[in-house]
């Protein structure tokens, strides 16, 4: 009987207890040497490979590990270093060059960072201006050799494909794409030839861009690219890996000259596509049937049913079982979760558990379904227990027709009442919400969670931090203040701890960007409001100042997109439940005379489906949920929202329909590119385009900020414009935060004076 192969696409980098994050930050802070950093991260990398082997995975990915970001790894492998970092005296292969591009330096701003397709992972955008690539090092080959020499593992090297890599970058005209590809293709071929010479059997080339709506005219170039690769490395088996959706030009691209294709059978309609158009008889199907983006245990019986359908189209011995995408989007193991309710824990599947599910299914295909009968029964019962438990409640669809979802007046009337109520200056200054969370803040929170600090003692500590930062903000001269969010671990996890229907894990960390890890809460039941979540801290802050303090909430779409959501009902039903719960919180804030309330939606664009045909459904639900949450406030109460920049033009109309009074947008790393959207459209509400990048430790120069503000004011009227950083300041140090905000306020005052002088004329 033919042995069915199991495979993985990518494994989490961070370590079970975020050892990777701690090592990186210790290195950046000068606490460990480069040698120590590389030693620690090598052990994390090798441990991940060991575990995959122990869990029964046959094709183990190598080269998927990164010290920051895999797209940045690819750029540095080809010597792609932005010009502003080339005069630093550092070599292209220097680790300090690598981190400088990602984080910026005092002299040079960091490269742009944006979302990896429709996930909460962020990648560093390559800059291809005047690119003359060279192969600095064959990174996949080095990591393949390491796995073989250290562990005896003949891995599957992972390479970000040339089409996706270049499409994800910037700094060239679309018409120049073929010429740019021509520069890189020989280097890709050199990498693959060296892997072939080393005796590598399979290479995974990731081309997720193929699931997006590439034009028909681009297909021949893709075909030519892979034809050249096939001719150059005829004995190397290439698995062309896609994920997050079905391939857009499937009928043509599925016939590319590669040995195998990786398809995502969880997200999109790949099953229907292969039913309709078939699958080539000369290729291996890497079937992504285990969800790599959510944490719920798979029903092996249902998944087996899917495999039976696939086997009607593709012979069993040409099927390789794997997850739908890299497992960097889920936590590593549920074994450490000792405090979870057994019913919930039994229903979970993190990265390691997903690999077990893959190995089980591969074993079943090899030896027959009866061989895995017990595991199938166990998975079905675990899911059944959760669905029949009180946790699920009596879920009912919300009758949206019965709930008000529009403000009481149009913006043109509301803004007049807000101007009277708020009395803000021209070009008002504010921050996005969070302020630096020091080691002491984290230490006291941990003591409180362990029971070493009473509720009263912890509240006293938090109030002390709030008071300190209200005074700092007043000294700096900000116009609208924030309480700082010192009581919050994370902008979604915090609300997950306080709303019904959520469960927070202890070690459920995933990478968001760089060393930044988040712990998405689990939505396992019906979501509802329990009691006020933010009112106490914001109200206290407001007693300390005559200036307005913003209420700070995370919006319904972001809570949904940054949680692991139950999969037994529609996500849109869950979204509406969250919105109505937040509506109660907003009403509580307004009742305490909080006149500015910010409902952040940084993940709204992130959740946009990859196929445009699905956009309107998603955006209509997203807009309606935001309005459900914010509709009941008085005209004089100002609703703000904040969003992270990513192809803002795609969602401009939806942003307008949110009907928020003020929107702030993360845009500093794109340096004004977003402004073109406002040149092409008339936006009548108020807006703050982030004037400096908070993801970098550098303090911006005054002239740099002035340039950013003036560029915006060339398009956006001063009466509509706010001045703020581009994101929250939680991860920044106190001294750099204060210094940067002082520069920002000084710039705002100078430009305000210029504008007022112009108005007088």
- Detail the residues annotated as belonging to a binding site for L-methionine: 432-434, 485, 600
The answer to whether 4 touches 366, Cβ cutoff 8 Å, is yes
Distance CA 51, CA 153 (A): 12
SS3 content of the chain, % helix, strand, coil (to 5): 45, 15, 40
Q: In the numeric block, which tokens belong to residue 369?
A: 């379904």
Q: Which of 70, 548, 640, 695 is catalytic?
A: 695
Residue 695 bears catalytic tag? yes
Task: Quickly count: other Cβ atoms within 10 Å of residue 183's Cβ.
Answer: 15
Distance CA 22, CA 291 (A): 28
Distance CA 98, CA 12 (A): 20
Distance from the Cα of residue 631 to its chain's centroid:
28
Kindly provide the residue ranges of all beta strands, DSSP E only, lying in 169-208, ordered along the sequence. 202-206
The answer to whether 50 touches 368, Cβ cutoff 8 Å, is no
**For helices 139-151 and 34-54, angle between their N-to-C axes, nearest 10 degrees:** 70
* Three-class SS state of 738: helix
Distance CA 663, CA 648 (A): 12
* CB-based burial, 107-122: b 16+ in 10 Å, e otherwise: ebbbbbbbbbbbbbbb
Distance CA 433, CA 724 (A): 10
Which residues partner with 565 through β-bridges? 523
Distance CA 184, CA 161 (A): 10
Which residues, 6 or more positions from 276, have their beta carbon under 8 angstroms from its beta carbon?
none
Which residues partner with 203 through β-bridges? 238
Q: In the numeric block, which tokens belong to residue 253?
A: 């691209």
Distance from the Cα of residue 368 to its chain's centroid:
39
The answer to whether 712 touches 746, Cβ cutoff 8 Å, is no
Which residues, 6 or more positions from 419, have their beta carbon under 8 angstroms from its beta carbon?
none
The answer to whether 263 touches 287, Cβ cutoff 8 Å, is yes
**For helices 351-367 and 300-311, angle between their N-to-C axes, nearest 10 degrees:** 50
Which residues, 6 or more positions from 116, have their beta carbon under 8 angstroms from its beta carbon?
71, 122, 123
For residue 646, give the nearest of 727, 709, 706 by alpha carbon. Answer: 727
- Cα radius of gyration rounded to whole Å, the chain: 26
Instruction: Name the DSSP class of 480.
Output: S
Distance CA 124, CA 169 (A): 9
Max CA-CA distance within the chain?
A: 88
The answer to whether 284 touches 254, Cβ cutoff 8 Å, is no
Which residues line the annotated binding site? 18-21, 115, 120, 432-434, 485, 516-517, 562, 600, 606, 642, 644, 666, 727
The answer to whether 98 touches 45, Cβ cutoff 8 Å, is no
* Phi, psi (deg, nearest 5) at residue 242: -120, 160
Q: In the numeric block, which tokens belong to residue 620?
A: 């209509």
Distance CA 203, CA 192 (A): 8
Active-site amino acid positions = 695
């Amino acid at each position: 009987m033919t042995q069915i192969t199991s495979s993985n696409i990518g494994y989490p980098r961070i370590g079970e207890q975020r050892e990777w994050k701690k090592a990186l930050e210790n290195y950046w802070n000068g606490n460990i040497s480069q040698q120590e950093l590389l030693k620690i991260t090598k052990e994390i990398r090798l441990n991940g490979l060991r575990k995959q082997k122990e869990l029964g995975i046959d094709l183990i990915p190598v080269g998927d590990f990164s010290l920051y970001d895999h797209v940045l790894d690819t750029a540095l492998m080809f010597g792609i270093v932005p010009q502003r970092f080339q005069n630093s005296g550092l070599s292209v292969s220097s680790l300090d060059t690598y981190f400088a591009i990602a984080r910026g330096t005092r002299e040079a701003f960091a490269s742009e960072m944006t979302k990896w397709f429709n996930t909460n992972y962020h990648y560093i955008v390559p800059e291809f201006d005047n690119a003359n690539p060279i192969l600095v090092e064959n990174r996949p080959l080095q990591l393949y050799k390491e796995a073989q020499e250290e562990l005896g593992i003949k891995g599957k090297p992972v390479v970000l494909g040339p089409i996706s890599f270049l499409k994800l970058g910037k700094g060239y005209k679309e018409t120049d794409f073929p010429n740019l590809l021509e520069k890189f293709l020989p280097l890709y071929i050199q990498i693959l030839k060296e892997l072939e010479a080393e005796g590598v059997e399979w290479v995974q080339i990731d081309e997720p861009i193929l699931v997006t709506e590439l034009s028909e005219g681009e297909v021949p170039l893709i075909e030519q690219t892979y034809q050249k690769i096939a001719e150059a490395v005829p004995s190397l088996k290439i698995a062309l890996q896609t994920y997050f959706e079905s391939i857009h030009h499937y009928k043509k691209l599925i016939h590319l000259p590669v040995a195998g294709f990786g398809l995502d059978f969880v997200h999109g309609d790949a099953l229907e596509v292969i039913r309709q158009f078939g699958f080539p008889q000369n290729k291996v199907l890497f079937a992504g049937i285990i969800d790599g983006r959510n944490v719920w245990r798979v029903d092996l019986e249902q998944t087996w049913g899917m495999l039976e359908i696939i086997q009607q189209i593709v012979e069993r011995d040409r099927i390789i079982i794997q997850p739908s995408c890299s497992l960097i989007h889920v936590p590593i193991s549920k074994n450490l979760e000792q405090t979870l309710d057994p019913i919930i824990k039994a229903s979970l599947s993190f990265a390691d558990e997903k690999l077990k599910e893959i190995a089980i299914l591969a074993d079943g295909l090899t030896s027959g379904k009866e061989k895995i009968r017990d595991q199938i029964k166990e998975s079905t019962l675990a899911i059944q227990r959760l669905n029949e438990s009180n946790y699920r409640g009596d879920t009912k669809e919300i009758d949206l027709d019965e709930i008000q979802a529009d403000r009481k007046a149009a913006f043109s009337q509301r803004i007049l009442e807000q101007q009277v109520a708020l009395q803000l200056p021209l070009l008002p200054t504010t921050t996005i919400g969070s302020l630096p969370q020091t080691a002491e803040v984290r230490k006291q929170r941990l003591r409180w969670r362990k029971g070493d600090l009473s509720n009263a003692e912890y509240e006293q500590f938090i109030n002390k931090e709030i008071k300190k930062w209200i005074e700092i903000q007043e000294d700096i001269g900000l116009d609208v203040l924030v309480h700082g969010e010192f009581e919050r671990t994370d902008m979604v996890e915090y609300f997950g701890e306080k709303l019904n229907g959520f469960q927070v894990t202890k070690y459920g960390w995933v990478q968001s960007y760089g060393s930044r890890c988040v712990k998405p809460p689990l939505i396992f039941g019906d979501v509802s409001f329990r009691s006020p979540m933010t009112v106490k801290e914001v109200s206290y802050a407001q007693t300390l100042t005559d200036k307005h303090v913003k209420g700070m909430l995370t919006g319904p779409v972001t809570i949904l997109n940054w949680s692991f959501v139950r999969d037994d009902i529609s996500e849109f039903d869950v979204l509406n439940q969250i919105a109505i719960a937040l509506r109660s919180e907003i009403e509580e804030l307004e009742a305490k005379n909080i006149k500015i309330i910010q409902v952040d939606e940084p993940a709204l664009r992130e959740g946009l489906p990859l196929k445009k045909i699905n956009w309107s459904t998603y955006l209509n639900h997203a807009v309606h949920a935001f309005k459900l949450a914010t509709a009941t406030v008085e005209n004089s109460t100002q609703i703000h929202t904040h969003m992270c920049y990513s192809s803002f033009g795609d969602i401009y109309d939806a942003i307008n329909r949110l009907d928020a009074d003020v929107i702030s947008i993360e845009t500093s790393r794109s340096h004004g590119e977003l402004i073109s959207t406002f040149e092409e459209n008339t936006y009548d509400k108020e807006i703050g385009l982030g004037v400096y990048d908070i993801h970098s430790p550098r303090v911006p120069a005054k002239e740099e900020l002035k340039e950013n503000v003036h560029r915006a004011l060339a398009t956006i009227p001063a009466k509509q414009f706010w001045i703020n950083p581009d994101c929250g300041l939680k991860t920044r140090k106190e001294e750099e935060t204060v210094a940067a905000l002082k520069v920002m306020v000084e710039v705002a005052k100078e430009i305000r004076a210029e504008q007022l002088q112009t108005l007088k004329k």
